[in-house]
Amino acid sequence: MNNIKQLVTPTKLWNKNFLLLMLGMEFNYIGANLLKFVLPLYVLRETGNPALMGTVLAFSLIPLILFLPIGGISADRFSKRILLALMNMATAIAIVVYLGISSTIAIVPATIIFFLLFSAFESMITPTVEASMPVLVPKNDLVKANSVSWLLSILSTVGSPILGGFILERLGLTTVLYICIAFYVLATTVKLTLKIPHSKQEAVGSLLRTIVSDIKDGVFYVTKENTKIGKLILISGSVGLFFLPITSTTLPVLVSTYLEMGETFVGLANGVVMFGGTVGIILLGVLGEKANVTRIRPLLLVCCGLLAVTGLGVMWSTHAMLTYVVIIALFFMITGF
């Protein structure tokens, strides 16, 4: 009887627990986006080597592949509230450790180790939040709730690089990291006050066996039962592999190394370009059914053309600020498309 009572969902969207979850996640988003922007940029500034910056970013992706399935299963088996708070507190502790070891060992291995831990914690949070939504809001408001979460994520994605670049250039990395610690402590505190209904599912097998079974089922589904989904995943993966690194690696390198501009300009460029993605998603909503999968090929061709124009602009322009504006404008359109 108690379990049934716990699983009753609220009757309105803007209830206390949903608001607390969104507040805690916004603190989480700001801290995470500050770290993902500032640390690779700091590696670039200290080493002057774009390849090392790219290496750090590459290592940050490995835990996402490994831990996302674990996060989904853990969200079903354990308390979502405790899991969210624990991952945030673990990130804050990892930042403190990074502050300690970065002064004693080389910056690149220290940052790689930190990103391996950080990405593992973040990959546990995402599926847990997704699993929490259906029990925190009415079923009919689930789309609205996910939209609110997405909007908060976008705001921090756009604003954090601008804030991070400004602080890094004027106050240094240590100040940025202390701010990140504060945001993660706030996120932990807020999430501990949450009340997320939880009905523990009985474990059918070991965690590893469950993960392997889920992966096998997923691969069979996209390769045999629904090949269109498999093709879309392949396209999405290719875009993530070739186009998205433009904003995370190429843009900071062009602005800071080629144009010799400070971290403030790098952060501003990154924030504006990421806003292009927001505009693209808004246009999807406006276009509705017109924005179907058949539009992918021409859009990718347009992106390739814009990249070529960007390269020519970088090669031929001798005016730093004009080149800066052109790069931002073209990357903005690429991200939107």
pLDDT digits (tens, 9 = 90+) for 34-74: 999 999 999 998 888 888 888 888 888 787 777 777 766 77
- Closest by CA position to 199, among listed 71, 21, 76, 18: 76
Q: Which residues of the chain have a pLDDT value below 50?
A: 1-6
Give the percent of the chain with pLDDT over 90: 30
> Are 84 and 136 contacting, i.e. CB atoms less than 8 angstroms apart?
no
* pLDDT on residue 1: 41
**Structure confidence at residue 8 (pLDDT):** 60
Amino acid type, 78 = F
Sequence-separated (6 or more) residues with CB below 8 Å from residue 203: 77, 210
Kindly state whether residues 180 and 319 are assigned to the same domain: no
Question: Are both 95 and 194 inside the same structural domain?
Answer: yes
Domain that holds residue 307: 243-337
The reply to whether 237 falls in a domain is: no
Q: What is the pLDDT of residue 195?
A: 86
Q: Structure pTM? A: 0.84
Q: How many domains does the chain have?
A: 2
pLDDT given for residue 13 in this prediction? 80
The last residue of one of the domains, among 148, 172, 201, is: 201
Give the CA distances from residue 176 to residues 120, 150, 225, in Å, rounded to whole numbers and listed in that order.
21, 24, 48
pLDDT at position 30 is 94
**pLDDT at residue number 26:** 93
Residue 26, number of CB atoms within 10 A of its CB: 20
Q: What is the per-residue pLDDT for 173?
A: 92
Residues with Cβ within 8 Å of 256's Cβ and at least 6 positions away in sequence, in order, are 41, 44, 45, 262, 263, 265, 266
Q: What's the confidence (pLDDT) of residue 211?
A: 67
Q: What is the pLDDT of residue 2?
A: 44
220 located within any domain: no
Q: What is the largest CA-CA distance in the chain?
A: 73
At residue 21, the pLDDT reads: 92
Burial class (CB in 10 A: 0-12, 13-18, 19+), 91: buried
